[in-house]
């Protein structure tokens, strides 16, 4: 006799008991699988930590090459702090804008020097 035939021969009470047992068995299996997945994720996370790998790989352009955007805005108080204008605004920019500055005040002009070059230029001009 097949399992299907055996099930159809059960009474309503027997079917209800079987249903409850199946629910418990499924719940136990799902919990075991979730625990196993958590353990795998923890192992991956531990293995990645010493290498300082990011959670996600960097996004690549359509041709598969990764590129960086040129910065469009610069912090005048610290020329090393820049922002390309994408994503969340950096804290230095948010704070300045709260104090009445406009976004245009931080726009990088063409031909302006940046970072180490700016410091070297300032030093050479001072001498």
In DSSP terms, which residues pair with 74 in a beta bridge? 82
Q: Is residue 60 part of a domain?
A: no
Domain that holds residue 32: 3-51
The closest of 63, 60, 81 to 72, measured between CA atoms, is: 81
In DSSP terms, which residues pair with 73 in a beta bridge? 83, 107
Tell me, yes or no, whether 44 and 83 share the same domain.
no
Q: Is residue 33 part of a domain?
A: yes
In DSSP terms, which residues pair with 82 in a beta bridge? 74
Measured distance CA(72)–CA(103) in Å, rounded = 10
Measured distance CA(11)–CA(127) in Å, rounded = 100
Q: Is residue 28 part of a domain?
A: yes
Percent of the chain with pLDDT over 90: 54
Q: Is residue 47 part of a domain?
A: yes
pLDDT score for 69: 81
Measured distance CA(116)–CA(98) in Å, rounded = 28
Tell me, yes or no, whether 120 and 79 share the same domain.
yes
Place of tokens 């159809």: 8
Token code pair at residue 108: 């990088």
pLDDT score for 118: 47
Question: Could you say which residues of the chain have pLDDT below 50?
Answer: 115-125, 127
Q: Is residue 59 part of a domain?
A: no
Q: Is residue 65 part of a domain?
A: no
Token code pair at residue 115: 């970072």
């Amino acid at each position: 006799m097949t399992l299907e035939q055996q099930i159809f021969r059960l009474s309503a009470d027997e079917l209800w008991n079987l249903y409850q047992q199946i629910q418990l068995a499924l719940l136990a299996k799902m919990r075991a699988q979730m625990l196993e997945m958590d353990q795998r994720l923890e192992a991956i996370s531990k293995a990645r930590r010493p290498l300082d790998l990011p959670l996600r790989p960097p996004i690549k352009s359509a041709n598969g090459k990764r590129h960086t955007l040129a910065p469009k805005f610069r912090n005048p108080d610290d020329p090393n702090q820049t922002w390309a204008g994408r994503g969340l605004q950096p804290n230095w920019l948010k704070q300045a804008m709260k104090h009445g500055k406009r976004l245009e005040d931080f726009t990088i002009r063409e031909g302006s020097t940046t970072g180490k070059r700016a410091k070297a230029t300032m030093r050479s001009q001072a001498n």
